[in-house]
Amino acid sequence: MIEIISFNIHDRPDMAKQAFEIRQKVFVEEQNVDPVLEYDEYEQTSLHYLLTADHTTVATARWRETDKGIKLERFATLTSHRNKGLGAIMLQRVMKDTIPLGKKLYLHAQLNAISFYKRHGFVIKGEQFTEADIEHFVMEYEPPR
C-alpha cells in the first residue's frame, strides 16, 4: 500500500523530521551535498511530501512558488526503494497538485535523472550547470498538445 501525504513543516514537525532524514541519507550522505546547501530558507515556505510504502516512509519531495513559476525540488527516495516506480508516483502527485495553479513548472534535474523527467513531460532548457557540486539542467514541464 502506498500513501502520500503533503504537509507544511510548521503544522507537522514530525513529518518534517522524517523528510529531512530521507534527504540526509540521499543528498548529504550518498551525494556529499553540504548540509548548509541542503536545508535552506525555503523549508518554511515549501509544501512538503512524504511517500509511505507498506508502512515505511521511503521518499520525499517539496515544491515552492518562485518568481519563475513553481519549482519542484528535493525529490529523494531511499536506496532500498528505488527503481520500483515510487519516484514516478511521487512526481505525478506533486504535478497533480501544482498544474492546476496555472504556472510554469520547472526543476533542476541531476544528469542521472534527466531521462526520468523527460518521460514525465519535462524538457531541458538552457545549458548544463553545477549546483552543490553536482551537474544539472533546468527542465520545464511542457503539457501534451
Cβ(47)–Cβ(62) below 8 Å = yes
Convert the pLDDT of each residue in 21-47 to its tens digit. 999 999 999 999 988 888 888 999 999
* Predicted model pTM: 0.94
- How many CB atoms are located within 10 Å of the residue 127 CB? 7
Instruction: Determine phi and psi for 118, rounding to 5 degrees.
Output: -60, -40
- Structure confidence at residue 41 (pLDDT): 87
Mean pLDDT over residues 122-140, rounded? 95
The residue among 134, 143, 141, 144 whose CA lies nearest residue 69 is 141
Question: What confidence tens digit (pLDDT) does each residue in 46-95 have?
Answer: 999 999 999 999 999 999 999 999 999 999 999 999 999 999 999 999 99
Strand partners, 69: 66
For residue 138, the Cα-to-chain-centroid distance in whole angstroms is: 14
C-alpha–C-alpha distance, residues 128 and 102, integer Å: 27
Is 2-141 a domain of CATH 1.10.4030.10? Answer: no
